[in-house]
Structure 1
Amino acid sequence: MSARPKKSFGQHFLHEKRYIERIVSAISPREEDTMVEIGPGEGALTLPLLAAAGKLTAIELDTDLIPELQARAASVGALTIVHSDVLKVDFTALARERGVAKLRVAGNLPYYISSPILFHCVEHAGAIADMHFMLQKEVVDRMAAEPGSKVYGRLSVMLQLACRVEPLFDVPPGAFRPPPKVDSAVVRLVPLPPEQLPDADPDRLYGVVKAAFAQRRKTLSNALKQVMSVQAIEAAEIDPKARAEVLAPADFVRLARAATAQAAD
C-alpha cells in the first residue's frame, strides 16, 4: 500500500521497520486489550497491533485509505474502522460500547492538531488506561517540561495534572514518507487515578492556567487580574510577583481553589 500523503490531513506515513517495532514493543499490546488507534494511515502500526491484540478500532478521517486498510487487515484480526474526526469521537462511550472499563489508545498524531487531540483524550481519561503517541518532538518536550523551563506552559501543566507523562524515544524525519521538517518523539501518557486528580473545579483551573500563561512574562498579579485578586493569590500562598513559568502544577490547583473561594464570597 502506498497512498499519496495529503497535506490537508497533515499526513506523514511511518515506514521504517525498526521504529515501528520499537513503538509496538513500548505499547506491548495483549489479547485482552481493547486497542484504539488514531489515524492509522497506511497501517504501519495498525497491522502489528492488530496481530498482537486480535482486535482493534481505528479512527480514520481519510476515506481514501479505508478500503485498502480493511483489505490488508482481513487476514490479521478484527479491525473496526470509525470514519470520523477524532475530536468528535466520544472515547467514554466507545469504551462502554466495547464493554470495557478502559481503552488503550495509540497513534501517530497529525502535528497541526496534536494539542487539541491531547486535550480531547484527557477529557476522557477516565475511560483510558494509557496512551502512546508519536508527536513533534517539540510538543513532547513541552508536555514533559518542568517549572522554570523555557518550554514549560499550559500544555505541561494541564497534562501533568491529568497524566503521568513519560517521553520514550525520538524518531528522525527519515522514518516517515514524506519526511517532516522536524524531529518526532514517542510519549507514554498514563492517566492518574481519581485520588490523585486535582481537587479543583476543572473550568476554573483551566481558566487560571490559560490566563497565567497568556502573557508569560507578566507577573501573576497582572496576568490573573481578570480572574482573581492579589489577595486571593496570596491566600493560595503564592507570590503575586511570581511568573507562571516558575509555578508547579500543584500551585495552579491552589490558585484555582482560591479563585473559586473568592467567587463564592
Structure 2
Amino acid sequence: MTTSPLANPGATRALLETYGLATKHRLGQNFLIDNHVIEKVMDLAALDGSECVVEVGPGIGTLTLALLQDAARVVSIEADGELEPVLRTHALEHDNFAYIMGDALRVAPERIAEACGGAPEILVANLPYNVAATIILQFFQTMPDLRSVVVMVQKEVADRIAAHPGTKTYGGYTAKLGLYAGVTGRFEVPPRCFMPAPHVDSAVVRLDRHEVPLASEASDVDRICEVIDAAFAQRRKTIRNSMSASGFDRAALDAAFNACGIAPTARAETLGVEDFVRLAACLSGKWREDNE
C-alpha cells in the first residue's frame, strides 16, 4: 500500500509550524491526515509507474508524496504563494517532482505539458472545493490526452458529477462533463479525515475519458454545450420553452424535436447526454445529412 509520511495530525502540525503556516479557509485548505484515505486514492488511481500525473492544490504535499512513489513524474499546481517553500523542498528531495505556482484555471495546458515532459495522462488531486467542478471540466476540455481524473471533492459536487437523468442533482454541468468522461469509481471521506475538519462531507471520484468520443470536433462540442445551456436555462420549463427563451427559433426546434424523436414537452433533466448530442446535430442539419 502506498502511504504518505504527512498523512497524520502530528506530521502535518510539525510541518506547518516549521514553515510558520496556518490554514486558509479562503483557499479551501483542509489538510488530509488519514493514511487510509491516501491508500484508497492510490488504489483508485491505479498508477503503473509510467504516467506523468498533474495535481492541483497540493497544499503541503500530503498526497504529492504518495504520488511520487508510484508515478514517473508529478507536476503540481498551487495558488498559495506561502506554500512554495514547502514545495521547493519536496522538489529538491524528489527529482521526479515539479511544481507551478498559479491559478490552475489560468495555467496554459502547454506549460503543464512542458513541466511534465509530455502531455499529462491523469489528474489526481484533493481539489480546492470552490473551483473543483470547473477544474475537472476545463481539464478534460483543454487536455485531450488526459485519460483519467481521480479527485477529492465536496460530496455534493461528486453527486452532481455522478448524477443520472431524471434526478434532482442532474444538470447542465453533468451533461457537459458526460460528453468527455464517465464515473468509474467513488468512495466517501468523512470530515474527521482532515485538519481542520470541514463542515461538509467529501468524496473521491474517478472519471475515465470515453474511448469513443460523443463529439469528435470542437465545433460540435461547442454546439452541444450551447444546446445544453439553453435547455437548462429555465429547467422548470419544457425544453422547447426554455430553449426558445434562450433564442432558438421555435420552428427550427419543432423540426429538430420531430427529426430526432425528442418530445418538446420534456424537461432538460430527463434527457441523457446522447439526447443532447442528437438534438444539437438535428438543429444543425448534420443529423439529417449523416442519416440520409
**What is the 5 A alignment of 1:51-66?**
51-66=69-84
- C-alpha RMSD over aligned residues: 2.0
Q: Is the 8 A contact 1:86 1:117 kept in 2?
A: yes
Structure 2 residue aligned with 1:74: 92
Q: Is the 8 A contact 1:39 1:59 kept in 2?
A: yes
Work out the CA distance in 1 between the residues paired with 2:107 and 2:208.
20
Work out the CA distance in 1 between the residues paired with 2:66 and 2:188.
20
| Residues 1:174 and 1:122: Cα distance change in structure 2 (over 3 Å) | same
Q: Does 1:170 align with 2:188?
A: yes
Aligned sequence identity (%): 38
Give how far 1:129 is off.
2.2
Q: Does 1:87 align with 2:105?
A: yes
Work out the CA distance in 1 between the residues paired with 2:269 and 2:163.
10
Give how far 1:49 is off.
0.6
Q: Is the 8 A contact 2:123 2:148 kept in 1?
A: yes
The amino acid across from 2:213 in the alignment is Q
1:7-26: CA deviations, max 9, x gaps? 22121111111111211222
Structure 2 residue aligned with 1:197: 214
| Larger radius of gyration between Structure 1 and Structure 2 | 2
Structure 1 residue aligned with 2:227: 208
Give how far 1:105 is off.
1.1
224-233 or 4-13: which moved more? 224-233
Give how far 1:236 is off.
2.2
1:236-264: CA deviations, max 9, x gaps? 211000111111110001111122229xx
Structure 1 residue aligned with 2:268: 244
User: If the length of structure 1 is used for normalisation, what is the TM-score?
Assistant: 0.91
Q: Does 1:259 align with 2:283?
A: yes
User: If the length of structure 2 is used for normalisation, what is the TM-score?
Assistant: 0.83
Work out the CA distance in 2 between the residues paired with 1:143 and 1:98.
27
1:150-186: CA deviations, max 9, x gaps? 1111121111221021341000011112211111100
**What is the 5 A alignment of 1:7-86?**
7-86=25-104
The amino acid across from 1:29 in the alignment is L
Work out the CA distance in 2 between the residues paired with 1:74 and 1:134.
27
The amino acid across from 2:248 in the alignment is V
Secondary structure at 2:179 match in 1: helix
Secondary structure at 1:182 match in 2: coil
Secondary structure at 2:281 match in 1: helix
Give how far 1:224 is off.
0.8
The amino acid across from 1:233 in the alignment is F
Name structure 2 gaps, 5 residues minimum. Answer: 1-14, 287-292
Q: Is the 8 A contact 2:51 2:71 kept in 1?
A: yes
Work out the CA distance in 2 between the residues paired with 1:213 and 1:204.
14
Q: Is the 8 A contact 1:159 1:165 kept in 2?
A: no
Give how far 1:97 is off.
5.9
Q: 1:182 aligns with which of 168, 193, 200?
A: 200
Secondary structure at 1:189 match in 2: strand
242-251 or 115-124: which moved more? 115-124
Secondary structure at 2:62 match in 1: coil
Q: Does 1:115 align with 2:136?
A: no
Runs of 4+ that moved beyond 6 A:
none
1:190-239: CA deviations, max 9, x gaps? 1113x332267112111111111122111011011122422222222110
Name structure 1 gaps, 5 residues minimum. Answer: none
Work out the CA distance in 2 between the residues paired with 1:156 and 1:189.
12
